[in-house]
């Protein structure tokens, strides 16, 4: 638990640092865009504003995820991180579309700007973005929420590079249409990254198996545990980028029924060690479904009329549950 809190604090500090730098960049580019009459700088300032929004949204999601679980939200607020990633991905799509439209207008009607001043301001913005990105990069590989915010910052850094290159070209050649071409390329890069984020967030929200886990391999490893006859009715999903859950029915061989607690413990240890599945619910000795499929197919069913007046179902017979949390 202390490790998890340290991770959240580290990520939060990175976000706060990035928010401060992004705010400074936003002010500099708005003022600079108005001063130089540079539509490219003003468009990049709008891009920076979207970045700032994404960073604040992501930091808010982390704070929500730290709230304790309750009897109404037994998983707490961890999914807030995924929702934030989905919103960030959507804003990236909107941003890319806006840049494409702006680049088209600039292509049709190139305008002269103060190229030298634009170059200096864009360089300052690039430095700010790169420094902010370094504070987020360390956690961007294994945390979807951080990755979406990181791509926002990187997208803005790429946009700054485009503005810088455009400023140099315009300064020496006067070919102002290059700004439109660079902006279009930036928009395509941002859009591709946004689609990947939306796809990953949607996969988690649809309870998909985490990309790093092969369910068939997991099942085979579970079957190799001494005393396990078979595995069925298995589900594996992500709560958020850092928490993976698994549930399954474990058919224990008759001679090992008295050791089913040890067997379940051994499986849980293997899941945590080999797959970082930190939350597992394993049901042993389920005689009613020993011939069931490995992957259980869920179906909609009408609510039972046997619910009591308070809305609680009656307690029927069931197997032994083991809920393991590291």
Give the per-residue pLDDT at 224: 92
Distance CA 125, CA 47 (A): 12
Give the per-residue pLDDT at 290: 53
Answering whether pTM is above 0.85, one says no
Give the per-residue pLDDT at 267: 94
Q: Specify whether the CB–CB gap between 107 and 187 falls below 8 A.
A: no
Q: Specify whether the CB–CB gap between 160 and 190 falls below 8 A.
A: no
Q: Name the nearest CA neighbour of 49 among 84, 115, 13, 98.
A: 98
Distance, C-alpha 81 to centroid of its chain: 7
Question: What is the DSSP track for 28-81?
Answer: HHHHHHHHHT-HHHHHHHHHHHHHHHHHHHHHHHHHHHTSPP-SS-TTTTTHHH
Residues of the chain with pLDDT under 70: 1-11, 111-113, 135-145, 148, 285-294, 296-301, 303-326
Q: Specify whether the CB–CB gap between 31 and 12 falls below 8 A.
A: no
Q: How many helices (H) and strands (E) does the chain have?
A: 8, 4
Q: Specify whether the CB–CB gap between 299 and 305 falls below 8 A.
A: no
Give the per-residue pLDDT at 5: 56
Domains of the chain from N-terminus onward: 2-205 (1.20.1510.10), 215-298+310-325 (3.30.70.1350)
Give the per-residue pLDDT at 2: 47
Give the per-residue pLDDT at 269: 93
């Amino acid at each position: 638990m202390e490790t998890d809190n340290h991770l959240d604090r580290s990520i939060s500090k990175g976000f706060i640092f990035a928010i401060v730098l992004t705010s400074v960049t936003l002010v500099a580019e708005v003022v600079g865009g108005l001063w130089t009459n540079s539509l490219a700088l003003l468009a990049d300032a709008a891009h920076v504003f979207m970045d700032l929004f994404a960073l604040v949204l992501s930091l808010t999601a982390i704070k929500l995820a730290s709230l304790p679980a309750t009897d109404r939200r037994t998983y707490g607020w961890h999914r807030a991180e995924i929702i934030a990633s989905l919103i960030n991905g959507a804003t990236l799509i909107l941003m890319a579309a806006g840049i494409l439209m702006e680049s088209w207008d600039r292509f049709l009607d190139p305008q002269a700007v103060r190229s030298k001043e634009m170059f200096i301001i864009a360089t300052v913005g690039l430095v700010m973005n790169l420094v902010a990105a370094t504070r987020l990069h360390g956690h961007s590989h294994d945390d979807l929420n951080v990755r979406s915010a990181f791509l926002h910052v990187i997208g803005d850094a790429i946009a700054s590079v485009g503005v810088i290159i455009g400023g140099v070209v315009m300064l020496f050649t006067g070919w102002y249409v290059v700004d439109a071409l660079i902006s279009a390329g930036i928009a395509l890069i941002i859009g591709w990254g946004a689609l990947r984020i939306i796809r990953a967030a949607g996969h988690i929200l649809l309870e998909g198996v985490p990309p790093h886990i092969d369910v068939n391999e997991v099942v085979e490893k579970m079957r190799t545990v001494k005393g396990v006859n078979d595995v069925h009715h298995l589900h594996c999903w992500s709560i958020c980028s850092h928490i993976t859950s698994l549930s399954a029915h474990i058919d224990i061989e008759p001679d090992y029924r008295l050791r089913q607690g040890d067997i379940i413990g051994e499986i849980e240890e293997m899941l945590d060690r080999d797959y970082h599945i930190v939350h597992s619910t394993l049901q042993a000795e389920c005689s009613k479904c020993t011939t069931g499929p490995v992957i259980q197919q869920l179906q909609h069913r009408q609510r039972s009329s046997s619910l009591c007046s308070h809305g609680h179902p009656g307690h029927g017979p069931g197997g032994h549950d083991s809920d393991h949390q590291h």
